[in-house]
Amino acid sequence: MGETKLDLLQGTLDLMVLQSLAAMGAQHGYGIARRIEQASGDEVLLNQGTIYASLVRLQQRGWIAAEWGTSDNNRKAKFYSITRGGRKQLAKDAAHWQRLSDVMGRLFSMSPEEGL
Amino acid sequence: MSALRRAWARVHSFFHKPPLDAELEAEIATHIELAIEENLQHGLPLVEARRQALVRFGGVDLMKYQHREARGLMRLDILLQDFRYTIRSLGRDRGFTIIAILLLALGIGANIAVFSVVNNLLLRPLPFPNADRLVWIAPPPTKCGLSCATYSTDAYDEFRMYSRSYQDVTGYFAFSGPGNLDLNLGGAPIPATSIDVIANFFEVLGVQPAMGRLFRPEDGNNGAAPVIVLSDAWWRRQFNADPKIVGKAFDMNGNQTTVIGVLPPTFDFGAVFSPGAKVDALTPLNLYGPPRDYGNIITLIGRLKPGVTMGQAVPDAAAAATHMCWNNKQPGSCHQYTGAVVPVPLKDYISGKLRRSLVVLWSAVGSVLLIACVNLSNLLLARAAARTKEFGMRTALGASRFRIVRQLLTESLVLSGAGAICGLVLAAALIAWLRHQQALALPLLSLLHIDGAALGWTVLIALVAAGLFGLLPGLRMASGNLQDSLKDSGAGSGQGRKHERLRSILVVTEVALACVLLVGAGLLLRSFLQVLDVDLGFQPQHAASINVEYDDSAPNDKDGSLGAARRGVIFQQVISRVSAIPGVEAAGISDYLPLGQNRAWGLPWPKSIKQPENVHGSPLVYVITPGYLRAMGTGIRGRDISWDDGPKSRNVVLINRSFANFLDQYAHWPNHDAVGQIIGGNGQEMLVVGVADDVHEESSEGEAGWQIYYSAMQRGPSGAQLVVRTTLPPAVLAGTVLRTLRDINPKQAMAEFRPIQSLVDHANSPRQFFMLLAASFAGLGLLLAAIGIYGVISYSVTQRTQEIGIRMALGATMAQVRRIVLFKTLRLAAFGIAAGAIVSLLVSRAIAALLFNTAPSDPIAFAAMIVLIGAVAMLAGYIPARRASRINPMVALRNN
């Protein structure tokens, strides 16, 4: 496998799914999984199957909706799309992540001598 | 919001598993197909494309599991699964299941029943609003019965005036006897019991009528129209629950009396204030009429003002007591209540005496449940031993240890749940039966029921029991190496030995607990037998009594002598006619009977001797006719009252031996003989014509007090109880006696002919009740311990079949094999008995206060217990021992 891939933090997968759906519109499970893999540049350790647990969680919260439809190559598939509530949640979570990552960035940029 | 939505969605999913699962399957299939297609496009061969697609997806089953976990209620799913599995496995082992549930039902049922009694008497407040503010006001117990526990009407008024702690004070007339009310509906009058209460009685207690109204102050005034309030029970029984009864008037005791209200079923005067007695109706007490000068007649009940504590109420009552006079017109009678007005919480008065018994009973029944749990733990251990392979297999298939322990706990819970339900049914039956034991002199009995608290208690003990008996087998399962158990052949291995030791310890515990229960019950039984053995001073067998009505009113009867003379004639006629009935040995009349009501008229002192200051108490007064003492079976030295001791003759009395001895300490009569001496002064001189045996007038257990007997033709009796001594069973005579009485006086009510023995039984009934319960619990404990011993010995015989076979093959006789097994039983029993005896010695001291003439270390009770439990243990061990001795060595060795 070479270099170890990143383990996903709890809760991040849900956010990734939401973001993918917001960016791509309605998509089926395989599409979402591929999108996340591609976007992460294959840096993330993702068993594609785990997104189905994430999808059911999001759907039960009312942040995404699901509908059976037909894929480009004429396959019956379940298509997920983000709802208005989902977008709101996404905005909230994204802002949270941004702040967290800013803080982490500042923290890591401190040089050892500068301590408190 | 979204969390709520999710919770709802989860519940929804829980109930729609099949369609959701099908959808997920379809989704996964599509996913994999899409992945394969993409891989094919990248030029991979089909086999590799499929492999890679599956690898990227991850384990399909794991994903499905995660999905379901996120989607529904996984824990509940597992619980249901465990539950179904439990039902199936218990169903397969039907014998075990039935025994387990039966053990638990007995243990839990007995606990619920006792809890309900305890709850009813000790935990629950009395059935009145703010019942904690109600107090009973009475002097500390003294040697003159009810007359010293009551107050005069003047004292009542003054207490109400001078006390500050009370919102209001009420009371009732304490001397109404049973059958004091004759209801005339045409035909023979129907006897009923009514109590006179002060008009504010219900207001103070906070009782509301079920129908109509209760008393107002004017109902008790002079000349007020007679009114009555019916008890719920009497209204139903006598008046067929007539919904229009209020306002109707009936002839009661010859007066047209209007029914003004009906009491709610929750208020039963008898159940609260005179346990075991039936009170049918309540009537207003006229405080300012004839009872005014009757002396001490009222028992006091007060309601404290909100926020007043007992610490404040007690000194307040003591202060008010200094203002209370027995009779306002006699200044000398003031201050006589000093120190004799003490409030206690009403609840303490009603059930305080029973607290100790109930706590003992509660502990006993708890021990029974503990024994049942130990027993079950033992059974489950044996079962677990047989199931090690099953669990080993499940572990090998991937079940976690936690999951297996959870499975075992589920089994325990299912068993205890089923046991609790059966126990509840058992307890409900027991309580329904108890509630209708009217002869039992326990307060509040008619209010006994299983309430929410009892149900809560049931759940609690079921959970605790499940924990108790499920823990040990569960821990054992969890600690053992399950993989090893798969390889283990079972019999004769080290694991089996360890198991057996644990089971033996459990059985020893059981025997020890049963032992303690048996000793306790044995001591209570000995005490009860001692109580039955007490010489009551009368012979209750072969005697019965009936309430006689008579009219001795005479016109222009200034000093009562005309009435007294007339009474003498009536009584003499009654007694001579009744004595003529075949089978009647003796007959006589007294106004009060022993172990019932009583009263006192002060302390007559030997003539010409000064009464010292510090002498308290007075003899209980009985106004009797000739023949009464003989009919009761009370011995006399000197002579009985005679028909010649009339109003114009010299006043005569009999006194009992204790009172005679007491007076003799001061009078120093010649030969210490009271007969022929004069007592009383100030024109109330009385010749002591006889000394009677001491009669237990208040209880079988207490000391006999002082008694004085007056002639019914010289003093006014407060009623007439005809006592008949017969050679026949009293029931046979009942009809003839009543017919004779009705023949003499057509107004005679259809009164009950009560065996005197029933008075004694009634007085002894609480002790008998507790003794019987303790004995049944001990019996149950013994049975459970016997089952435990049988189980362990039987198991060990099965385990050692091979060893026994070898012994027999080597020449051991059947008797020797039996001896080995019995010796093992004996050892277990001996350990248990030794431990139990030591604990019993400690525990019995705690119940010493409940014993009567029995030492807590009573050797007979201890010896009987050891013999009994030893015999039962041997019996329980004998059955497996016999089986062991019948083992065929050839078969035993060939097997395995």
Summarised one tens digit per residue, pLDDT across range B803-817 is: 888 888 888 888 888
Burial B260-286 (b: 16+ CB within 10 A, else e): bbbbeeebbbbbbbbbbbbbbbbbbbb
* Residue B681, pLDDT score: 66
Beta bridge partners of B345: B135
> Domain ranges in chain A?
12-114
CB atoms under 10 Å from CB of A68, counted, come to 12
B773: left (phi over 0), alpha (psi -120 to 50) or beta: alpha
B348 Cβ contact partners less than 8 Å away, ≥ 6 residues apart: B136
* Facing residue for B27 by CB, picked from A31, A62, A78: A78
Of the CA atoms within 13 Å of residue B192, those in its CB half-sphere come to 27
* Residue B866, pLDDT score: 87
In 3D, which of B731, B736, B764 has the Cα closest to residue B544? Answer: B731
Summarised one tens digit per residue, pLDDT across range B330-358 is: 777 777 788 888 999 999 998 888 888 89
Under a CB-based contact definition with an 8 Å cutoff, are residues B90 and B97 in contact? yes
Between 3.40.50.10860, 2.30.40.10, 1.10.10.10, 3.65.10.10, what CATH number should domain A12-114 receive? 1.10.10.10
Minimal C-alpha gap between A73 and chain B (Å): 9
The three-class DSSP label of residue A82 is strand
ipTM of the complex: 0.83
Give dist(CA B527, CA B771) in Å, integer: 9
Summarised one tens digit per residue, pLDDT across range B390-428 is: 777 877 887 777 777 888 888 899 999 999 999 999 999
What's phi and psi for B286, nearest 5 deg?
A: -85, 105
- Would an 8 Å CB–CB cutoff place B9 in contact with chain A? yes
| CB atoms A71 and B34 under 8 Å | yes
The three-class DSSP label of residue B738 is helix
Residue B279 CA to its chain's centroid (Å):
21
What's phi and psi for B272, nearest 5 deg?
A: -90, -45
Summarised one tens digit per residue, pLDDT across range B652-695 is: 999 999 999 999 998 889 898 999 999 986 667 899 999 999 99
* Residue B68, pLDDT score: 83
Minimal C-alpha gap between B70 and chain A (Å): 6
Under a CB-based contact definition with an 8 Å cutoff, are residues B787 and B217 in contact? no
B381 Cβ contact partners less than 8 Å away, ≥ 6 residues apart: B472, B473, B476, B499, B502, B503, B506
Give dist(CA B785, CA B513) in Å, integer: 9
DSSP class of residue A6 equals B
With 0-12 CB in 10 A as exposed, 13-18 as middle and 19+ as buried, what is A112?
exposed
- Would an 8 Å CB–CB cutoff place B10 in contact with chain A? yes
The kind and range of the H/E element at B589 are strand B584-590
Q: Which residue has the tokens 């050891």?
A: B866
- Residue of A18, A27, A30 to mutate, testing the B interface (most B Cβ within 10 Å of its Cβ): A30
* Residue B420, pLDDT score: 95
Give dist(CA B413, CA B101) in Å, integer: 11
* Residue A112, pLDDT score: 67
Give dist(CA B601, CA B593) in Å, integer: 16
Chain B residues in contact with A60 (beta carbon < 8 A)? 5-6, 9-10, 13, 71
Chain A residues in contact with B56 (beta carbon < 8 A)? 47-48
Summarised one tens digit per residue, pLDDT across range B438-457 is: 778 888 888 888 899 999 99
Q: Which residue has the tokens 């007090």?
A: B705
* Residue A1, pLDDT score: 37
Minimal C-alpha gap between A102 and chain B (Å): 28
Under a CB-based contact definition with an 8 Å cutoff, are residues B262 and B255 in contact? no
pLDDT of B637 over the 90 cut: yes
Q: Which residue has the tokens 């949640």?
A: A89
Average pLDDT over residues B168-182: 87
What is the reported pTM? 0.79
Among the ranges given (B140-144, B168-172, B378-382), the one the predictor scored with the smallest mean pLDDT: B140-144
With 0-12 CB in 10 A as exposed, 13-18 as middle and 19+ as buried, what is A70?
exposed
| CB atoms A52 and B28 under 8 Å | yes
Among the ranges given (B177-191, B272-286, B296-310, B468-482), the one the predictor scored with the smallest mean pLDDT: B468-482
Under a CB-based contact definition with an 8 Å cutoff, are residues B553 and B410 in contact? no
Per cent of chain B over pLDDT 70 is 96
* Residue B490, pLDDT score: 47
Say what angle helices B494-533 and B859-885 make with each other, to 10 degrees: 140
- Would an 8 Å CB–CB cutoff place B63 in contact with chain A? yes
Amino acid residing at B542 = H
* Residue B291, pLDDT score: 53
The kind and range of the H/E element at B690 are strand B686-692
* Facing residue for A53 by CB, picked from B28, B56, B66: B66
| CB atoms B62 and A49 under 8 Å | yes
Chain A residues in contact with B9 (beta carbon < 8 A)? 59-60
* Residue B329, pLDDT score: 77
**DSSP string computed for B187-216:** SSPEEE-EEEE-TTHHHHHT---SEE----
pLDDT of B494 over the 60 cut: no
| CB atoms A56 and B70 under 8 Å | yes
Size of interface A-B (CB pairs under 8 A): 84
Chain B residues in contact with A52 (beta carbon < 8 A)? 24, 27-28, 63, 66-67
pLDDT of B369 over the 90 cut: yes
Average pLDDT over residues B306-324: 90
Residue B880 CA to its chain's centroid (Å):
40
The kind and range of the H/E element at A29 are helix A29-39
What's phi and psi for B106, nearest 5 deg?
A: -65, -50
Signed CA dihedral, B631, B633, B639, B640: sign only: negative
Under a CB-based contact definition with an 8 Å cutoff, are residues A17 and A58 in contact? yes
Beta bridge partners of B587: B724
> Domain ranges in chain B?
2-72, 140-340, 354-533+762-894, 550-748
pLDDT of B136 over the 60 cut: yes
Give dist(CA B828, CA B792) in Å, integer: 10
- Would an 8 Å CB–CB cutoff place B30 in contact with chain A? yes
State how beta strands B678-679 and B686-692 pair.
antiparallel
Summarised one tens digit per residue, pLDDT across range B761-798 is: 988 988 999 999 999 999 999 998 888 888 888 878 88
In 3D, which of B132, B159, B149, B153 has the Cα closest to residue B316? Answer: B159
pLDDT < 70 stretches in chain A: 1-10, 112-116
Average pLDDT over residues B15-42: 87
Torsion angle of alpha carbons B108, B113, B117, B120, nearest 10°?
90
Q: Confidence band (pLDDT; 50, 70, 90) for B1?
A: low
Give dist(CA B508, CA B830) in Å, integer: 8
| CB atoms A50 and B24 under 8 Å | no
CB atoms under 10 Å from CB of B874, counted, come to 15
| Longest alpha-carbon distance in chain A | 62
